[in-house]
Amino acid sequence: MTPRRIVLLGGGYVSLFAYRALRPAIRSGSVQVTVLSADSHHNFHGFTGEVVAGLLPYRLTRAPLATLMPLADVVHGTVRRVDRPAQTAVVAPADGTPDQLVGYDQLVVGTGGREPLAAIPGLATYGYSLRAPGEFHRFLRRLDDLVRTGGNEPVVIVGGGSAGVELAAAVAGRFRRGRAEMPVMLVHSGAGLLPGSPPRMGAATRRELARLGVLVRLNVRVRRVGESAVELSDGSRVAAAAVLATHGQRPVGIPGLADLVHDERGRLVVDPTFRVADTIWAAGDAARVAHPVTGRPVPANALWAIKAGSHLGRNLRRVIGGRNAGRFRYRGLGQAMAFGVGRSAAELYGVPLSGWAGWLLRLAFFLRFMPLRRQALGVLAALARPAVVRNTASRSAGRRQDLPGDVPTVRLPVTADSWVPAT
């Protein structure tokens, strides 16, 4: 029997967990899987905050796609277009070799999303983002430079959702560990941080940001980004050492799929089985997935992408085996953010958690889904080191030790046209 050709677009959670669900069919010879990805590595975003804070090395969050999906043909390149009538995709390999034509019987769009940099003039030129290939590493290098040189200009984080809050805290933590007395400012257009989150979680977040000295501006937007400053919607201008975009995301567009149904954010609209059209499927940040109970779009985060990818892969096995695809029934778990080892703001099935309880829950969840076991063990070893240092210091006789966690919070003078501290 000729194997059915399944092409997975993207190297993120959707493709990885769909591949894992398809492994029995690949081994049986009934399926052939090809992965087309603009990045040669899978990026595990769960511990992004820890990497930014300097608690984990960047390498522990990246794994080669060829290693993670050895039974698939992995092509590192950019998809130029999809020809739906011909059921082919044209990909430009990253090594500069001629374009490849890849045929498919079923196509999965798991290309994720990226920050809408074009929405703010100057942000694409002078700012930093997290999701485009190579951008996160570029931001980390900039933070290293700032730790070495110091300065009074803040690092500005745009967006007060969970990513912006966690990363603002992480940047502040990195500066503390590096003894760099630099401010961090979080700019959010809404009246409060973490829109849609439980009030207790928001309160815990505000306390953590205040502890770390993060300066917060609410009800104001970044209107323009320059080489060394940002202009805000209230008319003020703030000098900035770096600007990081976390103000939402938009799907990565794939030429050739524009005639399919999209929502107002550009996401492909899928049915409860993740099908878009006869041979097109989508999940993760590239898709509008309706919650099975509320009908509202599910959050764009790792947990939902992992669960969706696994279910989509199982549905492909069903369809190829002549059965009907099943409905997606996952209802969610909760959310969690970390603000350093043992510090967190979380909720599990509506129950608020903080401190070590929320932090350990979050750690266990992410370790469970890390793609390589040796990386999970590396994370445990790296996160254990600060605790060992703290315990050793607490047993030392004599004067108090000057540890990274004990660096005094630096607070800048507050003026009406600059920024305000988190309270």
Beta-carbon-side half-sphere exposure of residue 84 (alpha carbons within 13 Å): 15
Does one domain contain both 224 and 353?
Answer: yes
Q: Residues for the chain: how many in total?
A: 423
Q: Which of 332, 352, 383 is the last residue of a domain?
A: 332
Mean pLDDT of 93-99: 97
Residue 286 has pLDDT above 60, yes or no: yes
Return the SS3 of 73: strand
Q: What percentage of the chain has pLDDT greater than the value 70?
A: 91
Residue 214, pLDDT score:
97
Report the DSSP pairing between strands 275-277 and 242-245.
unpaired
CA atoms of 339 and 346, how far apart (whole Å): 11
Residue at 382 is within a domain? no
pLDDT in tens, 133-176: 899 999 999 999 999 998 899 999 999 999 999 999 999 999 99
Alpha helices in 321-372 (DSSP H): 355-369
Residue at 365 is within a domain? no
Question: Quick one: tokens of 85?
Answer: 């009538």
Does one domain contain both 259 and 277?
Answer: yes
Does one domain contain both 219 and 342?
Answer: yes
Band of residue 9 on the pLDDT scale cut at 50, 70, 90: very high
Residue at 122 is within a domain? yes
Does one domain contain both 108 and 230?
Answer: no
Return the SS3 of 212: helix
Element (H, E) at 152: none
Q: What is the mean pLDDT of the chain?
A: 90
Residue 397 has pLDDT above 50, yes or no: no
Residue 350, pLDDT score:
84
CA atoms of 293 and 356, how far apart (whole Å): 31
Residue at 196 is within a domain? yes
Residue 412, pLDDT score:
35
Closest Cα to residue 187, out of 210, 152, 215? 215
Residue 405 has pLDDT above 90, yes or no: no
Residue 72, pLDDT score:
98
Does one domain contain both 203 and 278?
Answer: no
Q: Judge whether 252 and 132 are in contact, CB under 8 Å.
A: no
Does one domain contain both 55 and 171?
Answer: no
Q: Which of 332, 351, 379 is the last residue of a domain?
A: 332
Q: What angle do CA 112, 114, 119 make, to 5 degrees?
A: 145
Roughly how many angstroms between the first and final C-alpha of the chain, as a whole number?
Answer: 65
Does one domain contain both 29 and 51?
Answer: yes
Residue 33 has pLDDT above 50, yes or no: yes
Count of the separate structural domains present in the chain: 2
Classify residue 97 by its DSSP letter. Answer: P
- 29 lies in which domain range? 4-112+249-332
Mean pLDDT of 172-201: 93
CA atoms of 359 and 354, how far apart (whole Å): 7
Does one domain contain both 158 and 242?
Answer: yes
Residue 150, pLDDT score:
87
Does one domain contain both 142 and 236?
Answer: yes
Residue 69 has pLDDT above 90, yes or no: yes
Residue at 232 is within a domain? yes
> pTM here?
0.89
Does one domain contain both 193 and 319?
Answer: no
Does one domain contain both 139 and 170?
Answer: yes
CA atoms of 89 and 107, how far apart (whole Å): 9
Does one domain contain both 341 and 308?
Answer: no
Residue 386, pLDDT score:
62
Give me the torsion for CA of 206, 296, 315, 349, rounded to 10°.
40
325 dihedral zone (left: phi>0; alpha: psi -120 to 50; beta): beta
Mean pLDDT of 13-40: 97
Residue at 258 is within a domain? yes
- Please report, for the domain that includes residue 71, its CATH number: 3.50.50.60
Residue 423, pLDDT score:
36
Q: Judge whether 36 and 12 are in contact, CB under 8 Å.
A: no
Residue at 151 is within a domain? yes
- Tokens 């979050």: give the residue: 362
Residue 307 has pLDDT above 60, yes or no: yes
Residue 100, beta-bridge partner list: 91
Residue 197 has pLDDT above 90, yes or no: no
Residue 396 has pLDDT above 80, yes or no: no
Give me the torsion for CA of 113, 336, 385, 409, rounded to 10°.
90
Element (H, E) at 134: none
Mean pLDDT of 288-295: 96
Residue 288 has pLDDT above 60, yes or no: yes
Q: What percentage of the chain has pLDDT greater than the value 90?
A: 83
Residue at 414 is within a domain? yes
Mean pLDDT of 325-338: 94
